[in-house]
C-alpha cells in the first residue's frame, strides 16, 4: 500500500485523505502501473519530498507538474535530478533566475536535496509517470492528494511562501489562505512556456 511509504508526520496530517476511498483507488492504480510498466520515480522515492521536508519545517512550497519521464532523472523531488545527471531545461531556467534576481551563484548540480532539508517542499502535482510518457498519470487522482497537502499546510501553519508555476499549480491557490501565507504565481519554467515571454520578472510572481 502507498500509505506505508508516507512518513509518519505526514500521515498524521493527511489521515482523512489517505483513509478515503479515493486514495485507495489511487493506490491500486499506482501499484498496478508499477507491476506492468516502467514507472518513475522508483517506488520507494514516490514520497521522497515528504521524507526530506517535515510539515513543521516547511517554509516554501514549489509545485511542479509530474516527474521527469526519462531514465535516471526522477528522484521524488520536483525539478531535482541526481548528482551527475545533466541539468534539465526547466531547472536551468530556475537557476538562471536565481542568479539574475538574487545574485546568488548556484551549484553545478541539479540535485536539490539541499533545498529540501532547509524547508523547501519540492512537490509535483502528479507524483508518478510512465517512462517516456509525460502526463501519463495525470488522471490517476494524484491532484486530490497534493491538493490536500496544500490545504493542510495552509490550515495548520503560517508564513509559508507558495510558488505556483504553471496552470495546474496555479489552480491550487484556492486551497491557500492568503491572510496567513503568500503566493507567487507565474508561467512554468519549462522550455516551452519560458519561450513565450521575455519578461525577466516572470519567476517572481
Round to whole Å and give the CA distance between 196 and 38.
Answer: 33
Find cell 521575455 and name the residue. 198
Round to whole Å and give the CA distance between 130 and 38.
Answer: 6
Q: What's the pLDDT at 191?
A: 58
- Least Cα distance to 17 among 158, 145, 116, 110 occurs for 145
The residues that are catalytic are 66
Residue pair 191/89 in contact (Cβ under 8 Å)? The answer is: yes
Pick from 31-35, 93-97, 135-139, 157-161: least confident: 93-97
Q: What's the pLDDT at 167?
A: 82
Pick from 34-38, 90-94, 190-194: least confident: 190-194
Beta bridge partner(s), residue 43: none
Q: Per the confidence metrics, is the pTM higher than 0.85?
A: yes
Q: What's the pLDDT at 194?
A: 53
Identify the CATH homologous superfamily for domain 2-204.
Uracil-DNA glycosylase-like domain (3.40.470.10)
Q: How confident is the model at residue 132 (pLDDT cuts 50, 70, 90)?
A: very high
Q: What's the pLDDT at 73?
A: 97
pLDDT tens for 146-204 read 999 999 999 999 999 999 988 888 999 999 999 999 999 888 888 555 544 434 344 44
For the segment 111-119, the average pLDDT, to the nearest whole number, is 97
Beta-carbon-side half-sphere exposure of residue 188 (alpha carbons within 13 Å): 20
Residue pair 133/67 in contact (Cβ under 8 Å)? The answer is: no
Boundaries of every domain in the chain: 2-204
> Three cell numbers at 22?
479515493
Amino acid at each position: 500500500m502507498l500509505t506505508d511509504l508516507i512518513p509518519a508526520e505526514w500521515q498524521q496530517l493527511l489521515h482523512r485523505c489517505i483513509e478515503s476511498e479515493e486514495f485507495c483507488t489511487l493506490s491500486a492504480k499506482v501499484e498496478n502501473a508499477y507491476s506492468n510498466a516502467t514507472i518513475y520515480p522508483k517506488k520507494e522515492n514516490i514520497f521522497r519530498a515528504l521524507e526530506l521536508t517535515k510539515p513543521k519545517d516547511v517554509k516554501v512550497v514549489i509545485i511542479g507538474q509530474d516527474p521527469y519521464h526519462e531514465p535516471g532523472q526522477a528522484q521524488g523531488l520536483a525539478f531535482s535530478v541526481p548528482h551527475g545527471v545533466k541539468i534539465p531545461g526547466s531547472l536551468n531556467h530556475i537557476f538562471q533566475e536565481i542568479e539574475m534576481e538574487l545574485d546568488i551563484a548556484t551549484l553545478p548540480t541539479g540535485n536539490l536535496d539541499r533545498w529540501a532539508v532547509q524547508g523547501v517542499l519540492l512537490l509535483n502535482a502528479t507524483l508518478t509517470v510512465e517512462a517516456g510518457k509525460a502526463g501519463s498519470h495525470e488522471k490517476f487522482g494524484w491532484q486530490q492528494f497534493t491538493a490536500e497537502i496544500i490545504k493542510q499546510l495552509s490550515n495548520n501553519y503560517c508564513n509559508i511562501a507558495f510558488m505556483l508555476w504553471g496552470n495546474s499549480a496555479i489552480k491550487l491557490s484556492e486551497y491557500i489562505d492568503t491572510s496567513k501565507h503568500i503566493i507567487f504565481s507565474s508561467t512554468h519554467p519549462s522550455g516551452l512556456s519560458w519561450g513565450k515571454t521575455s519578461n525577466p520578472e516572470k519567476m517572481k510572481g
